[in-house]
Amino acid sequence: MTRHKLPDLKLQDETGPKVLGFRNATLGTDTKIGDQTWEHIIQREALAVRQQRCPQCGFEPLDTLSGRYYAEIPAESYDKQPGHNFQSSYTTEDFMARSLSELIDALSDPDLFVRKHAANELRWFGPGAVAAVAALCAALNDEDVAVPYDAMETLENLGPQAIDAVPPLIGLLSARDDSTRSGGAKVLGAIGPAAIAAVPGLVESLRDPCSSVRYEAACALGKIGREAVPALVRALLDFAEGLREHAAEALGRIGPEALDAVPALITALNDDKPAVRQRAAESLGEIGPVATAALPALVAVVRDESQLFAMRFKAVGALGRIGPDAADSVPDLIDLLRNPGAGRLRLRAAETLKKIGPAAVDAVPQLIEALQDRDDNMRGFALAA
């Protein structure tokens, strides 16, 4: 494979000569487009929108031209001047013309920029990139963070078709770099239930010191679904507050399929830590109408004025998401409507009564009275209910 160094080029347009530079963040150099002809400079609006970087070498365009112009350099114009300490092998057009197999080969090229381009361009092959999964898995361990990043994006786009990538992605959950760990968790979520082998690692990632990693791990477990429930129920009993909180969050993301976790979430309503209690209440609502077993515990929270406002607020919301089966809570919701000191809980109560529907008919007189309330918001919520 022949590699050429990028020469200096200069462009001239209606405003006169301009210098176009590309910043190489990796090597810390600025290369100017110096003394070539205008014929080699073309406008590529579509490419600028799609990629926002130089197709020749991946460098970010300087603000001089707002990223609208790029250098197109014919092979015969390449030179080998000393001082150009970077290399480029392909243009974007080359990549689009080359076959998938050549891009796969390019992922293992010794030239860093070639590997970057290959990983980047594979993203555009969609489902057709499934043949590249093995090579993309190898690219996850590339020395440059940009290559694994693009490889992960391609694998994410493949979804369940990337099942063979699960083992190396599990390995990324313990990577040093925060973005690598969160990216690995995100791809595992995209693979979905087929990534069941990743559940232990993802549960452990709920302890991660990085919030984005914890978030992506919770999302991934939610997408894996029912298969993750037993491990998350066990995590609700862990000594670490953060793990319990995010385990409850993940169960809520799973939704109705997390029915088996309802007893554990009911227990979590009495957790020592407010964040865990609140997340448990919220997740019971996300599990929805199948979580009727939680109704007595949620009503008890609503009645308990010693509870934090946020806890009662989430409990009232959960009753609404359970729906008509929460009819037994209507008297307590009416009491909230009558209490001017309840603040936003009154609004939440009106909203929940609306979701309970005809079974909340006993609340109609109080809702009518609320139409005369001093609070504009209260009047609006009462009218909507």
DSSP-based three-state secondary structure for 60:
strand
Q: Which ranges in the chain belong to alpha helices (H)?
A: 45-51, 92-97, 100-106, 112-122, 133-139, 146-158, 166-172, 178-191, 199-205, 211-224, 229-235, 241-254, 262-268, 274-287, 295-303, 309-322, 330-338, 344-356, 364-370, 376-384
- Residue 151 resides in a domain: yes
Overall average pLDDT of the 211-223 stretch: 93
Residue 376 vs residue 4, higher pLDDT: 376
Count of the separate structural domains present in the chain: 2
Residue 27, pLDDT above cutoff 90: no
* Cβ contact 114:90 at 8 Å: yes
User: 39-43, 161-165, 204-208 — which is least confidently predicted?
Assistant: 39-43
Overall average pLDDT of the 321-348 stretch: 92
For 5, which DSSP code?
B
List phi, psi (to 5°) of 308.
-60, 150
Q: How many residues does the chain have?
A: 385
**Residue 119 in tokens:** 């990983």
- Residue 383 resides in a domain: no
Same domain flag for 129 and 153: yes
Domain's final residue, options 121, 143, 164 = 164
Residue 93, pLDDT above cutoff 50: no
Same domain flag for 100 and 68: no
Same domain flag for 99 and 73: no
Residue 277 vs residue 379, higher pLDDT: 277
CA distance 255 to 290: 10
**Amino acid 65: pLDDT:** 30
- Residue 70 resides in a domain: yes
Domain's final residue, options 164, 197, 212 = 164
User: 44-58, 96-110, 196-210, 249-263 — which is least confidently predicted?
Assistant: 44-58
Residue 349, pLDDT above cutoff 50: yes
* Cβ contact 132:154 at 8 Å: yes
Going 77 to 80 to 82 to 83, the CA torsion angle's sign is positive
Same domain flag for 18 and 63: yes
**Residue 367 in tokens:** 């809702």
CA distance 129 to 95: 14
DSSP-based three-state secondary structure for 116:
helix
| Longest distance between any two alpha carbons in the chain, whole Å | 86
Overall average pLDDT of the 354-371 stretch: 90
Overall average pLDDT of the 225-252 stretch: 92
Residue 48, pLDDT above cutoff 50: no
User: 8-12, 264-268, 337-341 — which is least confidently predicted?
Assistant: 8-12
User: 127-131, 220-224, 265-269, 350-354 — which is least confidently predicted?
Assistant: 127-131
* Cβ contact 138:162 at 8 Å: no
Domain boundaries, position 130? 89-164
- Residue 261 resides in a domain: no
Supply angle C-alpha 35, 4, 97, rounded to 5.
Answer: 105
Same domain flag for 43 and 68: yes
Name the amino acid, one letter, at 193.
Answer: P
Q: Identify which of 304, 264, 303 has the alpha carbon closest to the alpha carbon of residue 284.
A: 264
Give residue-wise pLDDT tens across range 243-297: 999 999 999 999 999 999 999 999 999 999 999 999 999 999 999 999 999 999 9
**Residue 340 in tokens:** 């001017």
* Cβ contact 317:348 at 8 Å: yes
Residue 129 vs residue 184, higher pLDDT: 184
Confidence of residue 57 (pLDDT cuts 50, 70, 90): very low
- Residue 269 resides in a domain: no
CATH of the domain at 146: 1.25.10.10
Residue 77, pLDDT above cutoff 70: no
Same domain flag for 131 and 98: yes
Give residue-wise pLDDT tens across range 179-200: 999 999 999 999 999 999 999 9
380 CB contacts (<8 Å, ≥6 apart)?
Answer: none
| DSSP per residue, 266-280 | HHHTT-SSHHHHHHH
**In Å, what is the CA distance from 351 to each residue of 90, 318, 364?**
59, 11, 13
Same domain flag for 98 and 118: yes
* Residue 31: strand pairing partners: 22
Residue 332, pLDDT above cutoff 70: yes
Residue 351, pLDDT above cutoff 50: yes
Same domain flag for 67 and 132: no
Q: What is the mean pLDDT of the chain?
A: 77
